[in-house]
Structure 1
Amino acid sequence: MYSAYINRIGKFLRGEPINNDQMEEYLGKIASRPSRVSQRILNSNGIQQRYYAIDKQQQTLYSNSQMAAFAVRDAISQSNLEPGAIDLLACATTLPDLLVPGFASTVHGELSELSPLEIVSTQGVWCAGVSALNYATSQIELGKKQTAIAVASEFPSRLFKNTKFEAKTSVQAGKPLPFDTEFLRWMLSDGAGALLLQNHPNATGISLKIEWIELISHANAYPVCMYSGLANETSTKSWLGYSSYLNAATAGAFDWRQNIRWLENVMKLGVEGWLRLIKAGRVCPQEIDWLLCHYSSHFFREQIVELLEQAGCMIPE
């Protein structure tokens, strides 16, 4: 077995960061009415600024694939590596630009400087990026590849424009969006990140050795939490099951939703997973200097800290 090292990190964030007061200038007011719940959601999630790849006229400035490609170029530009030396491109996103082909194909299409090479697309909300990293790492550890790129890019703002919702009968009747739809408008933003992986550390400077990656799904035990393609979480009718795309859109099947009632369970599962890793000897909390923890909303931070302290495995903040 070989070892895999993260030798360069690239990113793409379009323009200057915008603050919370500017969000509706980009996303637009639905039916010309300011949101009634945005401030409550923003106060809860604690996010202070974000990036959008749309402008105030809601025009798309970059495709999702282009953002990913810019992040890849940023990573490569920091090394003395020729782009043609990359022999694997693993690309992740939640919602690609096209239904077909896969996201990796369109990203590779943007990167004309790369050689013909193996590509792989991963999808699955926030696990997609780690899935791409996991595949690239495995290929290097097996000795099948020497140099790989794992890139993740997201472009959710396209789904949250006010014009996406104003044809709804309920909106025209003066009703607000369902909370599970509007919630994500005030949570998500756009950007891309890329990791350059090699089977050896950098000759100088910092390298991060990947010791292990573990991915666990609990989809067998819980209902869907974040989704698009269904009119609601209890429906079994996919957007492809409607008689027309228009009928699917009218029913709200294209809306991106999250059932926040399930999020507390998600937090508990994350902490339980952390405890399993400790029990298995893969993590020793006393030896950890830095823990990078994704909890999506500041609202859940105190809950996570409380659970970790109760279990006696808290990493000092």
Structure 2
Amino acid sequence: MQKAEDLVRARIVQKRLEADDIVSVLLRGEGSGPLPSHEAGAHIDLHLGEGVIRQYSLCPSSGKDGEYEVAVLREPQSRGGSRAVHDLLQVGQVIDISVPRNHFPLKSCKGKVLLFAGGIGITPILAMAEECVRRGQPFSMHYCARSADRMAYARRISEGAVGPHCQLHYDDGPDSQKLDLAAVLQAPGPDDALYVCGPAGFINWVLETAAANGWTEAQLNREFFAAPEIDAGQDSAFTVRLARTGRDVQVAPGVSIVEALDAEGVMVPVSCSEGICGMCVVSVLDGEPEHRDFVLSAEEHARNDCLTACCSRAKTPVLVLDL
């Protein structure tokens, strides 16, 4: 549940087919001036009706400042989000969206930035590439897709300032143009940085290859669009203690912290329920979390001073939360 002050009204001013099964939606603030500014890597929530809320990365809009653009892949197993965007949203319609949040920022870098996009993962990666151009930041980008027909923004990339820095790779193309990842990632400089977004298998391939070639965890940055499956069969019950009241809430196996708290009338803002958006992060005052999210950094996991209440659990019998 999101707070009303975190929502803004936006009108759909353009909807366009960008590639096979991918549409872009251009949004403009409705009645209250330009939409809030954001940085590369940010995402917003789209409120799509009937309780459906989905997160989408912001593309660099080719329109005016203060507009937002998202691109959405039609998912065959859609739970309602991509189907609503493709089939129900119409130009002229006004919807609620969240203010931008950014758990995947493009950091200042003294070395070279390497960008990797798989499929619809191009949305934040293209924003980063265009920001690198603006900063004068040395970078290269590799964009992988099943085929040219499924590659969103390909013309914009090839004809724009990003083009000289980018290589396009197609699964159905000749071997000569396919991504030789080990060669690209060899001999990293100590100040280089890597960013990757796309399907879980693509992200894991890039990260594992990078680690095998000497990249450190601190150099690696990733954003998942969907959480990989986790075996919850061995989950144990634990207790959440609410520090502000001293109240204890039992969290049963197969029940999330958010669900257990909600059943007791304690509301924690939640959106994705998969540990990828960061809305439900709460502070941990005592106890050790079992982190199952894909949004907090390795350093944040190591500190154990916060967790994502929608999916993470406890390694200790009691977790004391700042609630």
Greater per-residue strand proportion: 2
TM-score by length of structure 2 reads: 0.25
Which structure has more relative contact order (CA 8 Å, sep 6+)? It is: 1
- Higher relative helix content: 1
Give the TM-score of the pair, scaled to structure 1. 0.25
